[in-house]
Amino acid sequence: MIDIKFLRENPDVVKENIKKKFQDSKLPLVDEVIELDAKLRKAKTEADGIRADRNKYSKLIGGLMAQGKKEEAEEMKRKVTESSEKLAELEKEEAELEEKVTKIMMAIPNIIDPSVPIGRDDSENVEVKRYGEPFVPDFEIPYHTDIMEKHCGIDLDAARKVAGNGFYYLMGDIARLHSAVITYARDFMINRGFTYCIPPFMIRSNVVAGVMSFAEMESMMYKIEGEDLFLIGTSEHSMIGKYIDTIIPEESLPHTLTSYSPCFRKEKGAHGIEERGVYRIHQFEKQEMIVICKPEDSMMWFDKLWQNTVDLFRSLDIPVRTLECCSGDLADLKVKSIDVEAWSPRQKKYFEVGSCSNLGDAQARRLKIRVAGKDGKYFAHTLNNTVVAPPRMLIAFIENNLNPDLSIRIPEVLRPYMGGLEVIK
């Protein structure tokens, strides 16, 4: 959510930003919120004036009564009563206007960074750099679930009976590989100075509204019936929520956290063949990283965060590339975003395994995450990035470490987490 004062003073900049995101239907919202904001400020000014007069009258009443001027005191009391009724009307109007202004402001997209490429959708995202040499072996690589089934490592049929489509049972060495990757990623981030955290896996609606847009919430989040709780779609939501309505001493920044959690997502819509298996599912586990920092440091941390993911995948001998998300592919709260994609030898192309985002002060403004600096309070900047999400990571890992006999190599750095195992046979 952008600053209403910025919008008020720079409506053309906000409108141009909306055009860059190809959301022209939202252009009328700018003028609408400016009009509502003017009414709100007028109502607040009038209400403040009535409160001041009422306080003045209340003091005078006591003095008049002490002087025996009962009639004048009664007249003052009548004015106080009248002003109280008018104040109640204005306070009701204020609440209604504030609700309308907030709702519109939450629908207006954040101002994107000037470096973001302009494009309509993910087909216009821009490749930045490749790390490692992509290769295709001289033998056919089966679909990832077929490989897992050869190892007795996955049971989709049983999962469908128990929970429906979009779920799975991981078994044996494949399940162990899944846990090994998560644990390795945890230690990888701890070694880079991040504090490890296991957050709540459910969050309240005020936190949901603070960390994401309404459209994202509707398409992603599972609601707990009868309670003000949602299952998290990513631990970033719970981790950022940790700071709701707090004032952080500037000298303590940055706060760098890495978190483990299960994640739950609706994943609405039809998906192609490559999104079957364990690619796009309703439940998975993930290691995440977040940063709370000063505004002037957020772009520096942005580059550090996506580099962490690149370095982790390269430590496991998986070729990756970075992709700059274009304006139309950015969620409304994001200032800038880079996807990390891993190489799939079977598909002969890259696919997304992580996403790094700088949200500026949008989440902090919604959640009231402020920093106490030498010159006063200001909103922090928040960033997040996927360290690793093993379901997709397993696809890249298995395909890039597959032998002709369908055994799976274990890179040296991961062997301590697999009990010294060098090959899954």
Which pair of tokens denotes residue 92?
């009701």
Return the amino acid letter for 167.
Answer: F
- The DSSP 8-state label assigned to residue 280 in this structure reads S
Per-residue buried b or exposed e for 97-108, using 16+ beta carbons within 10 Å of the residue's own CB: beebbeebbbbb
Q: What is the CATH number of domain 4-105?
A: 1.10.287.40
At residue 22, the pLDDT reads: 96
Q: Taking the model in full, what pTM does it have?
A: 0.89
Rg (CA), the chain: 27
Assess contact for 60 and 76: CB atoms under 8 A: yes
At residue 268, the pLDDT reads: 60
Tally the residues of the chain.
425
Along the chain (425 residues), what's the average pLDDT of each consecutive run of 10 residues? 93 97 96 96 89 72 67 69 79 93 94 97 96 95 95 94 92 96 97 97 94 77 94 94 97 97 78 61 94 98 98 97 97 96 96 96 96 96 95 93 96 97 96
Assess contact for 210 and 366: CB atoms under 8 A: yes
At residue 216, the pLDDT reads: 74
Domain ranges of the chain: 4-105, 122-424
Return the amino acid letter for 65.
Answer: M
Phi-psi label, residue 152: left if phi above 0, alpha if psi -120 to 50, beta otherwise = left
Return the amino acid letter for 107.
Answer: A
Assess contact for 117 and 22: CB atoms under 8 A: no
At residue 273, the pLDDT reads: 41
Fold entry, domain 122-424: BirA Bifunctional Protein; domain 2 (3.30.930)
Which pair of tokens denotes residue 73?
């005191």
